[in-house]
Structure 1
Amino acid sequence: MFKKSIILSFCLWLSCMNAEAAFFRPETFTLKNGMQVVLVTDTSTPVIFHAVWYKVGRGDEAPEEPSGIAHFCEHMMFKGTSNITRDELNSTLFKIGAIKNAMTSFDYTTYYELIESSSIETVMRLEADRMVNLLIKEEDVASERGVVMEERKTNIESSPEGRIMEASISAFFTNHPYRILPIGLMDDIASYSSKDVKSFYKKWYHPNNAILVVVGDISLERLKELTQKYYGVLPAGPTLVRNRLKEPQRTDVLKDVNLGANEVGLPSVKLYYDAPSVRSDPKKAYALQVGLEAVFGSSVDYFKRAMITERKALSGMSTSYDGFSYDPMWLSISLQPLPGIKWKQLSVILEEVLNKALKSISPEDVKLAKARILGRLEYDRADIFEVGMIIGNVLASGYTLEDLESYPDKVNDVKHEEVLDVMMDVLKMPKVRSFLAPLSKKGAK
């Protein structure tokens, strides 16, 4: 379902790849109805990761549609079809021991199962069925509205962190649909009708707008046979174009977002910066990933050492950047000031340390950053779930297998001067600055 942490960092997954060519060694083919199928064979255990990814998320919702309808449609996909009831769907998956879930992001919706390899036909039959035969009843829409409203209340309305994240992202974007979280606004959720869901489902849920990712104990020949049997017989839908409202040109206007709440224990500051995606500016995006690792990626690097150990201004910090989003998003730096450190004091220290950190990035720092980036996936690639999620995330967000497999080369090609240029450009000024504090300290700067 909708993840509380919606700022998925593909960079954290992708920045693990070894410089060896064809790291995942995926095999791919396309059915006659346009559905792409990707396989990574792993016979080490009799287990399969099976996931259908639809190239539609919050970012693809039309301005006239109620926000969050992509996420709500995901919920409705568990309500049964003209061939199988909701209870039969759940009991069938339970009987085969499937670990199942679904999620909606800004750029995609996915449904996955982790199963014994002998159960592959069962999940294919179920997923193919609900791709085209979903039953959308008004009474189910009404009951699920309450479920999603409670989900939003828990993750946003009742959570200071959720509220300030929502307000910050809304302030960050002017026009782009990313400005509203995938779960949607409460008033829109309350307005959903079966007509809304049917319209969205009929537009986006087709084999030619879907990608099947399979990782595990199955051969290419067997997968071709089964996908043709279950998915290949489905009719193709219309050709879809992902049209989205564009953002205006970047400006040097800083927006402050403040929130005080009784539930907050310690204050935090979050800085949001304009950042490129690989689709919008690949050279800058790859250089930015290397630069972030060089400056913030290690506890012994200058920035963390200066801010946490030497200046004793922070108890902790983190960064988030999704270079593989469909459209450009944001780079964020989260700071946890130590008790007694006010924002005015912190801002002076931060500006001084950050400027020095950026100017002091050496060729050796860049080399070490690349080594850390390209060394991380060795652990994760043994996990078929992680491999399947990485591949699906990238493809459903508008990228290709070539983009994925060439990632190590792109990282290694990044030059020291490119890192300096992009870090100075992106981090020269945040677009949004958020302050979260205990209620009694609200606005204390």
Structure 2
Amino acid sequence: MRTFGLWGRFASLLALLVASSLSYAATSSTHEYVLPNGLKLIVREDHRAPVVVSQVWYRVGASYESAGHTGLSHVLEHMMFKDTKQLDTGEFSRIMASVGATENAFTSRDATAYYQVLAANRLALSFELEAERMHNLVISDEEFARELQVVMEERRQRVEDRPAGIAYERFLATAHQASPYGNPVIGWQQDLESMQAEDLRRWYQAWYSPNNAIVVVVGDVDAEEVLQLASRYFGPLSARELPVVKPLFEINSPGARRIALELENARLPSLYMGFNVPVLNTASEAWETYALRMLSGVLDGGYSARIESELVRGSEVASSAGAGYSPFSRGDNLFILNGVPNTQKGYNLEDLEAAFWEQIEALKQTPPTQQELARIKAQVISSLVYEKDSISSQAQQIGTLESIGQSWRVADQELDLLSAITPEQVQQVAQKYLTPERLAVATLRPKPATDVATQ
């Protein structure tokens, strides 16, 4: 009965996705353009509400930075809300607020993006302001010095004052030895302290140009009208010669790398295990990345997944634990297992690591069941249905794919490619990639209290 229920849920969700897709297709279509100056424009018409999300993505993030110069992309993101030749500091945000728009920005390892959600008839204003700061940013020494202090305070709050933040930062630095993915997006503290305004001006001139930008628009718009607006505001901007970008591959041998941390303000022990694995950009066979996603779901895909059912509720070796993997990055990524041992039951970090290996070995010996994969596929369908209801989620998906060099069309193939993965393929990627040679481990323990001398 349980098997029938699982497959029944899968079939019901598939029917829901089909119905949702038909409704969505009736009101949406996607168009791709490239302006003469190299700017890429992707417009998805979605006429269900009179709003639009407008995003400008630059193909530059922390993974483009070199030793001694980390944090540049993130600090520049902050400075983009300061002075331009036509706008004073803070004026961009004030104008957006005056028309009822919400706006923000973010920096990742592979991209920096700026976005607004606003009434569809205000799109021209968004383009005008984004074109201004794409080409006419003014980075003064005074504003830079002030904003750099803001970023260093942000780093203190997110990393320095949080044991988990320190541990995860050191874990990534240990796991990524041949690519800049080991550098924090916010930058190393010493690099922030030595950063100069001129460093940022050079970074802006190197990367912020129309031929390194993707403009994504999703909402109640006409694609040809959006193209006309883009040509009007972005078209006159000059392309620049871009720095050469090399592929990012990681070292997979000769053995496991480990780092152990003891921090005074840590409350609980924590374990991080990361296996170096390929992504869509680096995999010799694309199906492996979809099998790795299914493997992640088998281990950590909800209440009935193996980690939750066997390690948290079963043996209770973990008070919390999980797994994660994303194929959407510019270079090789990590398949991560992490958790907190259940110390109240007498378990420690070594016990939790051994339990993770037991789960890995079980999958290497015996492939997952069809029922497990059906459950994961049902979750994927649910996620896709939800994403189609959000214009911001649609734009985020498009921008993420395009910024790493993939096409937005990859998302349209996602369900079919995941559904085609077999239990044996999941077993194969577990055998191939979850090995000690590809492993980095970080442990975090509370530092023991210093003994007080007695007289």
Q: Is the TM value for this pair above 0.5?
A: yes
Encode CA deviations 1:100-142: one digit per residue, 9 max, x unaligned.
1111111000001111112211111100000000011111111
Aligned to 2:200: 197
CA distance in 2, matches of 1:435, 1:60: 28
Q: Distance in 1 between matches of 2:113 and 2:421?
A: 32
State the partner residue of 2:348.
Answer: 342
- Tell whether the 8 Å contact from 1:102 to 1:112 is kept in structure 2 after alignment: yes
Partner Cα distance (1:424, 1:327) in 2: 21
Which runs of no fewer than 5 residues in structure 2 stay unpaired?
1-15, 451-455
Instruction: Give me the whole-angstrom Cα distance separating, in 2, the residues matched to 1:419 and 1:202.
Output: 45
Q: Distance in 1 between matches of 2:66 and 2:43?
A: 33
The whole-number CA distance in structure 2 between the counterparts of 1:369 and 1:246 is 29
Corresponding residue to 2:378 among 371, 376, 379:
371
Task: Name the residue aligned to 1:112.
Answer: 115
Q: 1:425 maps to which residue? A: 432
8 A Cα contact 1:55 1:210, kept in partner? yes
Q: State whether structure 2 residue 324 is matched by structure 1 residue 320.
A: yes
Contact preservation (8 Å) 1:268, 1:335: yes
Q: How many angstroms does 1:269 deviate by?
A: 1.4
Q: Deviations over 1:139-196 (max 9, x none)?
A: 1111111111111111111111111111111111213111111111111112222211
* Residue 293 to residue 247, structure 1, CA distance change in 2 (3 Å): closer
Scaled by the length of structure 1, what TM-score is found? 0.89
Structure 1 residues 179 and 389: alpha-carbon distance in aligned structure 2, compared to 1, 3 A threshold:
same
Paired residues of 2:273 and 2:337 also in contact (CA < 8 A): yes
Percent identity at matched positions? 27
Paired amino acid for 1:342: N
> After the TM superposition, which of the residue ranges 198-207 and 371-380 deviates more from structure 2?
371-380
- Where in structure 2 are the equivalents of 1:209-224 lying within 5 Å? 209-224=212-227
- TM-score, length-scaled by structure 2: 0.87
1:271 and 2:284 aligned: no
Identify the residue that residue 233 of structure 2 maps to in structure 1.
Answer: 230
Tell me the SS of whatever aligns to 2:372.
Answer: helix
| 4+ residue segments displaced more than 4 Å | 17-25
Unmatched 5+ residue regions in structure 1?
A: 1-16
Instruction: Report if aligned partners of 2:62, 2:71 keep a CA contact under 8 Å in 1.
Output: yes
Q: Secondary structure at the match of 1:375?
A: helix
The one-letter code matched in structure 1 to 2:173 is: S
| 1:10-35 C-alpha deviation (Å, 9 max, x unpaired) | xxxxxxx9687998842211111111
> What is the CA–CA distance in structure 2 between the aligned matches of 1:404 and 1:283, rounded to whole Å?
14
Per-residue CA deviation, residues 313-353 of structure 1 (Å, 9 max, x unaligned), is 12221222121101011111111221221223333433334
Residues 53 and 210 in structure 1, CA contact (< 8 A), matched pair in contact too? yes
**402 and 89 in structure 1: CA distance in 2 versus 1, 3 angstrom threshold:** closer
Cα gap change, 1:238/1:305 in structure 2, threshold over 3 Å: closer, same or farther?
same
**1:350–1:182 distance in 2 versus 1, CA, 3 Å:** closer
Matched, 1:70 2:73: yes
Q: Which piece of structure 1 moves more, 25-34 or 349-358?
A: 349-358
1:29-48 to 2 correspondences below 5 Å: 29-48=33-52
**1:242-261 mapped onto 2 (5 Å cutoff):** 242-243=245-246, 246-261=249-264
Deviation at 1:244, TM superposition (A): 5.7
Count of residues in correspondence between the two structures: 424
171, 179, 182: which one pairs with 2:182? 179
Q: CA deviation at 1:246?
A: 4.7
Distance 1:26 1:261, change over 3 A: farther
Give the residue type in structure 2 aligned to 1:365.
E
- Per-residue CA distance 1:250-269 (angstroms, 9 max, x = gap): 3322313323332x333221
The amino acid that maps onto 2:281 is: R
Q: Distance in 2 between matches of 1:258 and 1:372?
A: 36
The amino acid of 1:356's aligned partner reads A
- 2:335 aligned partner: 331
Q: 2:305 aligns with which of 286, 301, 313?
A: 301
Residue pair 2:271, 2:339 contacting (<8 A) in 1 also: yes
1:401 aligns with 2:411: no
Alpha-carbon separation, structure 2, partners of 1:291 and 1:331: 10
Bigger radius of gyration:
2
Match for residue 138 of structure 1? 141
